[in-house]
Chains A and B, each alone.
Chain A
Amino acid sequence: MTAETKEFIAGIYADGWSRIVATMIRFTGGDWTLAEECAQDAFAQALRTWPESGVPRQPLAWLTTAARNRAVDRMRRASTEAAKIREWAEAMEQEEAPSYPSDSEIPDERLELMFTCCHPALNLDAQVALTLRALAGLSTAEIARAFLVPERTMGQRIFRAKQKIAHAAIPFRVPPAHLLPDRLPAILHVLYLLFNEGYGDQDKTRLSREAIRLARVLSTLMPDEPEAHGMLALMLLHDARRPSRVDANGDLVTLEEQDRSQWNPEEIAEGTTILERALRRRRAGPFQIQAAIAACHATAPSTAATDWPQIIGLYEQLALVAPSPVVDLNHAVAVGMARGPEAALALVDAIAEDGRLSSYYLLHATRADLLRRCGRAAEAADCLRTALDLAPTEPERRLLAKRLE
């Protein structure tokens, strides 16, 4: 019973945390720290009492009410300290505090929370940290571990971000429609960054999981934004290939050599369905196009049987909406698969000449591969050595070293 109840609480924590925090931020007039403390207290209270009394019929309402009572209590005690809080506490005395009789009556303000956490007036590190704390419900210690900084540093970063929200009056709201094109990409950027942070590192898969969960929340709350769906699709399609990306020794496995039977068919099916629905709105943005490329890979039986001409077209489309030399490089790789190494080498040489990617190891690794396929072994080896010097992680260096042998 006890273990079951604890598991139930852990289950509602995932989505409940951010909903209660959001409701409490609104309730306290923007006191983020108090909102978090009260949410924490509410869950602690549930852990204490539910195993005895049983799970209430409306658990979210129970928790939100507990958090709110805690907030009222804390405000009253603090009321001598500051005029603003005193005013608030007095208003609370007169006005009947709202009670939350059922889960469905609690407004869902997680979207407000997302837009505030990812406000462009906060620096990116602060946006990421705040998103993990307020939305994903990770503790400061957990966030610090994920980003390899001391807990104190992370605590300071989150504290400063909350201070700036209060002092600069960053509003707790969903921006009006005319600001959305500027503001939605910031949320997408933060969530995708979290996903990637967890994708590259086996020890941080939790970050990817949280990113996918929050992307689901975002696309549910913004059903008319195809890029939100596109990003969720992209995450699912990448995540589906996670089991085959690294072998038993922890070595990276290239797409060509991955065991496709290990790919997660449910995630691929869900990702492609979400993507197709998004594309029907005919407002393809960078996330939808990247998801379409990922879908080509995820649904192909082998590298040879992949629809490379379609991938070439998608990279050309991507280069139009989000031009970058990395997109050009990936385009060249696809050309190499469809039309042979000579055609691709000409493109890669042009990218190399441009110079912007000269310290990007994959440029040199790609060039090495194309040179090898053209029969220019000595030049290929030179390129591989350059790539090896530039590769940022140990698994990547091992993969390149193997090719040099």
Chain B
Amino acid sequence: MKYLMLVCVDPDLAPGQAEGAPEIDDWVTEMDGKGIRLLGDRVRPGSDATTVRVRNREVLLSDGPYAETKDLIAGFDVLECADLDEAVEVASRHPMAWAGVIELRPFWIDDQDA
């Protein structure tokens, strides 16, 4: 089962709340080694984002992030896990689960109905 792990910042985090969070390098090394993390990276902030939509066959661009996500997405990883419990465990050991918020999105599997 594949999950997209969206790594988000939490603008309301109180200072000191993320104390004791694991190191990101350790997390990456471990999850790469186990074959759980298939891909992942940091992404530039929303000010460097471009949104693309095609309306009436015309490509429309706008400067900045898509409304709802604003400046929250800091990075992403693609995980291969047995089930949601494993994905939760992996996500909870990522430092940004301590200092931000992580959203897990299961991949859409072709067979599944909407």
Instruction: State which of A82, A121, A179 has its C-beta within 8 Å of the C-beta of B84.
Output: A121
B112 at the interface (CB under 8 A from A): yes
**Min C-beta distance of A116 to chain B, whole Å:** 11
Are A84 and B83 closer than 8 Å at their CB atoms? Answer: no
Number of residues of chain B lying within 8 A (CB) of chain A: 14
Are A121 and B83 closer than 8 Å at their CB atoms? Answer: no
Besides A166-B112, A168-B104, A169-B106, 13 new A-B residue pairs in contact (Cβ under 8 A), listed by A number: A83-B110, A83-B111, A84-B111, A121-B84, A121-B88, A167-B106, A167-B108, A168-B84, A169-B82, A169-B83, A169-B84, A170-B84, A175-B85
For residue B108, which residues in chain A have a CB less than 8 angstroms away from its CB?
167
For residue B1, which residues in chain A have a CB less than 8 angstroms away from its CB?
169
For residue B82, which residues in chain A have a CB less than 8 angstroms away from its CB?
169, 171
Instruction: State which of A82, A119, A170, A175 has its C-beta within 8 Å of the C-beta of B111.
Output: A82
Are B112 and A171 closer than 8 Å at their CB atoms? Answer: no
Which residues of A, 63-108, contact B by the 8 Å Cβ criterion?
82-85
**Min C-beta distance of B47 to chain A, whole Å:** 32
CA distance A169 to B107 in the complex (A): 10
Which residues of B, 76-96, contact A by the 8 Å Cβ criterion?
81-85, 88
CA distance A44 to B30 in the complex (A): 52
For residue B106, which residues in chain A have a CB less than 8 angstroms away from its CB?
167-169
Which residues of A, 160-174, contact B by the 8 Å Cβ criterion?
166-171
CA distance A142 to B76 in the complex (A): 43
For residue B109, which residues in chain A have a CB less than 8 angstroms away from its CB?
167
Instruction: State which of A167, A170, A175, A179 has its C-beta within 8 Å of the C-beta of B112.
Output: A167
Are B83 and A171 closer than 8 Å at their CB atoms? Answer: yes
Where the two chains meet, the residues of B that have a C-beta atom closer than 8 Å to any C-beta of A are 1, 81-85, 88, 104, 106, 108-112
Are B85 and A171 closer than 8 Å at their CB atoms? Answer: yes
For residue A166, which residues in chain B have a CB less than 8 angstroms away from its CB?
112
Which of A166, A168, A169: most chain B Cβ within 10 A? A169
**Min C-beta distance of A117 to chain B, whole Å:** 14
**Min C-beta distance of A391 to chain B, whole Å:** 35
A-B interface contact total, Cβ < 8 Å: 31
Number of residues of chain A lying within 8 A (CB) of chain B: 14
Where the two chains meet, the residues of A that have a C-beta atom closer than 8 Å to any C-beta of B are 82-85, 119, 121, 166-171, 175, 179
CA distance A179 to B88 in the complex (A): 11
For residue A169, which residues in chain B have a CB less than 8 angstroms away from its CB?
1, 81-84, 106
CA distance A119 to B1 in the complex (A): 18
CA distance A84 to B84 in the complex (A): 20
For residue B88, which residues in chain A have a CB less than 8 angstroms away from its CB?
121
CA distance A374 to B48 in the complex (A): 68
**Min C-beta distance of B89 to chain A, whole Å:** 8
CA distance A170 to B111 in the complex (A): 17
Specify the chain A residue showing the minimal Cβ separation from B1.
A169
CA distance A312 to B110 in the complex (A): 60
CA distance A221 to B1 in the complex (A): 30
Are A171 and B111 closer than 8 Å at their CB atoms? Answer: no
Specify the chain B residue showing the minimal Cβ separation from A176.
B85
**Min C-beta distance of B87 to chain A, whole Å:** 8
CA distance A248 to B104 in the complex (A): 54
For residue B104, which residues in chain A have a CB less than 8 angstroms away from its CB?
168
CA distance A170 to B106 in the complex (A): 10
**Min C-beta distance of B30 to chain A, whole Å:** 17
CA distance A175 to B56 in the complex (A): 51
Offer 25 A-B interface pairs, CB within 8 angstroms, sorted by A: A82-B111, A83-B110, A83-B111, A84-B111, A85-B111, A119-B84, A121-B84, A166-B112, A167-B108, A167-B109, A167-B112, A168-B84, A168-B104, A168-B106, A169-B1, A169-B81, A169-B82, A169-B83, A169-B84, A169-B106, A170-B85, A171-B83, A171-B85, A175-B85, A179-B85
CA distance A171 to B111 in the complex (A): 19
CA distance A171 to B1 in the complex (A): 11
For residue A82, which residues in chain B have a CB less than 8 angstroms away from its CB?
111
Specify the chain B residue showing the minimal Cβ separation from A179.
B85
**Min C-beta distance of A173 to chain B, whole Å:** 8
For residue A170, which residues in chain B have a CB less than 8 angstroms away from its CB?
83-85
CA distance A175 to B82 in the complex (A): 13
Specify the chain A residue showing the minimal Cβ separation from B110.
A83
CA distance A175 to B104 in the complex (A): 19
Which of B81, B88, B108, B110: most chain A Cβ within 10 A? B88
Which of A82, A85, A167: most chain B Cβ within 10 A? A167
